[in-house]
Amino acid sequence: MPWRATVSLSVFIRTGSLHETPARLNGISHVVEHMAFKGTATRDCQRINLDAERLGAEVNAHTDKDHTAFHIEGLPQDLPAFVEMLADLVLNPSFPAEELERERGVIEQEFSEYDEDPVSQAFQLFDRACFGTLHPAGRPIIGTRANIKRFAREELLDYVQRQYTACNVVVAVAGPLGAAEFDTGFVPRVAAAFGAMPPGTPNLIEPPAWLGGMKTRRMAGSGQCQLVLGYAAPALAADDAHLPHVLAAALLGEGMSSPLLDEIRERRGLAYHAGCAADILPHSGQFVIDAATAPEQAVELLEAVHALLRQLAEAPALDATALERARRQLTMRALRALEQPARRMENAALDLFSFGHLREPQAWLDRLQAVSAAEVRAVFARMHQGGGADGGQPAALALAGSVPAKVRERAAALFVDAAA
């Protein structure tokens, strides 16, 4: 990326909430990510912050379902220091006991924010409806309060020793590096910094079974009803079998001219937010529709969404203009991601974790162009038929916030009981 004036460095570890088995470990990846910044063998918390900020750099991290990542962004001439700093965080966390006690309080505040947010609650309930709680896919990334209170320093150290191994780590850089500088400078430096990691074995995930059904949570004081509705989609695979679902999601709910937003928001004013996406992971996939509305409009919203899905499923053919609009929007999104350092590094890391090599963006775009209208229509047909004889899987539905009894009853009748 020669046009960039700064450089970004990320370390991705193939471990996240999906790897937290048994259930008593739920939340440990997130705690480890927090605690990595609280001290290493050679740096305390204040030194970590100072070493980054004196170089003008920004350092951060995140925990996801399938990975944990540490990031730093700054001036290109400081890249050697950035490699050393992230290696220190990943390889040498000391997890000071007194810092762990303080960090429990910080994470408790995160819990409070999630507990008060209907959107967060609805998506957590949705995952539980999809996969249950016996599989990590149905559990929240943040974990449980009981686990966070119980985790001891030794558990964190054991988890890092087991999960943070060489075959589960990708180091990615994006910035104005030439090929020679990358090969003769960056690669040897990374090898020296991370070379002592034990090789390990890949952190694998057992694919979850799709369950479906409805979960609700009534939240006192909430003035909105948050809906998350979804269906099973294919997992990430080399043949991109999930692409019809990705294209179907874009057709239904990408942009203000899409049927979902045009009908639900623009024409009928039933929601101030509505969206649709295909969430594709290495272990599973979800076709997700979400919307937020006033409680008194929730039944009408549910009926409108059901009618849209039925129309798309029963139409003799999909609208060619709408399909081309969706295809172009996905193309634009993919090309724009190539210009964004964070997206490009994360996509590269997930390619290496999933396939062992980087995939060519053009090959993905070619496969997107090859998806037929019939394949996309079949996606809507399977969703509308639910758990019918064609092998369709039942809907998963979550409602959170202000959820009147009549809303729960109508939601069940439209999307859950109808598929039984």
Q: DSSP string covering 60-98, please?
A: EEEE-SS-EEEEEEE-GGGHHHHHHHHHHHHH-B---HH
pLDDT by residue for the chain (420 residues), tens only, comes to 777 899 999 999 999 999 999 999 999 999 999 999 999 999 999 999 999 999 999 999 999 999 999 999 999 999 999 999 999 999 999 999 999 999 999 999 999 999 999 999 999 999 999 999 999 999 999 999 999 999 999 999 999 999 999 999 999 999 988 888 888 899 999 999 999 999 999 999 999 999 999 999 999 889 999 999 999 999 998 889 999 999 999 999 998 999 999 999 999 999 988 999 999 999 999 999 999 999 999 999 999 999 999 999 999 999 999 999 999 999 999 999 999 999 999 999 999 999 999 999 999 999 999 999 999 999 999 998 864 334 457 999 999 999 999 999 999 999 987 554
- Cα dihedral: 225, 407, 288, 17 (round 10): 70
Question: What span, in angstroms and rounded, lies between the C-alpha atoms of 86 and 63?
Answer: 16
Copy the structure tokens of residue 44. 């305390």
CA neighbor of 71 nearest in space, from 341, 317, 258, 267:
341
pTM above 0.85, yes or no: yes
Question: What span, in angstroms and rounded, lies between the C-alpha atoms of 29 and 160?
Answer: 9
Spell out the domains of the chain, with CATH numbers in brackets: 7-194 (3.30.830.10), 213-419 (3.30.830.10)
Question: What span, in angstroms and rounded, lies between the C-alpha atoms of 42 and 143?
Answer: 30
Question: What span, in angstroms and rounded, lies between the C-alpha atoms of 165 and 170?
Answer: 10
Question: What span, in angstroms and rounded, lies between the C-alpha atoms of 178 and 1?
Answer: 9
